[in-house]
Amino acid sequence: MTDYMAQISLRDPSNKEKYIGTDENWDKAEKAIIEAAGKKGLKTVVELGEAAFYGPKLDFMVKDAIGRKWQLGTIQVDYNLPERFQLEFTDADGSKQRPVMIHRAPFGSIERFTAVVLEHTAGHLPLWLAPDQVKILPVSEKYADYAEKVCNLLNNCEIRASVDSRNETLGKRIREISLLRVPVLLIVGEKELAEGTVSVRKEGADQGSMNVEQFKDWFKANVAEELA
């Protein structure tokens, strides 16, 4: 998600009574947040009247896949609440100083962030983030024990895997799991049991046959590539 604007939210100078604190503190805080955004080279827009009652904000307005704007992360500079709560610290020279309080919410509410990401990606989350990373499908009940063994090996390596051994056709299970956006499917049957392997599919594309150790290496390489 790269289409975003940093909104510098300042107080409304025509309606100062809705804010707490002195003009001096407000001028200092607004200047600080504007300078910080400039030093970071952020693309910004200034909005008057959008500040919190105690200080200015830097709000990150993110556009989703269909062009709607959402306020996610926010950073707020607060010179006023430390005075109200009489906060202080001892400086290196032994003197008492008033701190600056920074309110920071990297994602806004986690529920809003999750909803925006799900809609933006149409549920196709990256492998590292997907709640169900791997689904193991035995082609029949005869191979359910082998599927469970593979599942336990993956779970012990902190790979989020589970088995779907429902009494449904393999094709139906694949279709339903694909709709749930599980990124990796492992198919196990007679050949895989005999050879100690799994047949790997990632987002519908065949990745070939691998033994469990090879699959773990392949999985970790894919995660590392996503996070690079």
Tens digits of per-residue pLDDT, 173-227? 999 999 999 999 999 999 999 999 999 999 989 999 999 999 999 999 999 999 9
Q: How much is the average pLDDT of 68-88?
A: 90
What per-residue confidence (pLDDT) applies to 105? 87
Q: At what angle do helices 212-227 and 144-156 cross, to 10 degrees?
A: 50
What per-residue confidence (pLDDT) applies to 71? 86
- The helix (run of H) or strand (run of E) holding residue 157 is none
Q: Is the pLDDT of residue 1 over 80?
A: no
d(CA 134, CA 151): 9
- The helix (run of H) or strand (run of E) holding residue 58 is strand 57-63
Fold classified for 4-121: BirA Bifunctional Protein; domain 2 (3.30.930)
pLDDT, greater one: 108 or 177: 177
134-227 shares the fold of 4-121: no
Q: How much is the average pLDDT of 150-171?
A: 96
**CATH code given to domain 134-227:** 3.40.50.800
What per-residue confidence (pLDDT) applies to 135? 98
What per-residue confidence (pLDDT) applies to 69? 86
d(CA 150, CA 162): 9
What per-residue confidence (pLDDT) applies to 120? 83
**Strands of the sheet with 44-48, listed across from one edge:** 44-48, 4-10, 57-63, 69-78, 101-105
Task: Answer yes or no: are the C-beta atoms of 54 and 19 closer than 8 Å.
Answer: yes
Q: Is the pLDDT of residue 159 over 80?
A: yes
Q: How much is the average pLDDT of 112-118?
A: 83
Q: Domain residue spans in the chain?
A: 4-121, 134-227
Longest CA pairwise span in the chain (Å): 78
CA 114 → CA 123, 125, 129, 181, distances in Å? 10, 11, 11, 15
Partners of 134 in the β-ladder:
161, 184
Mean predicted lDDT score pLDDT of the chain: 92
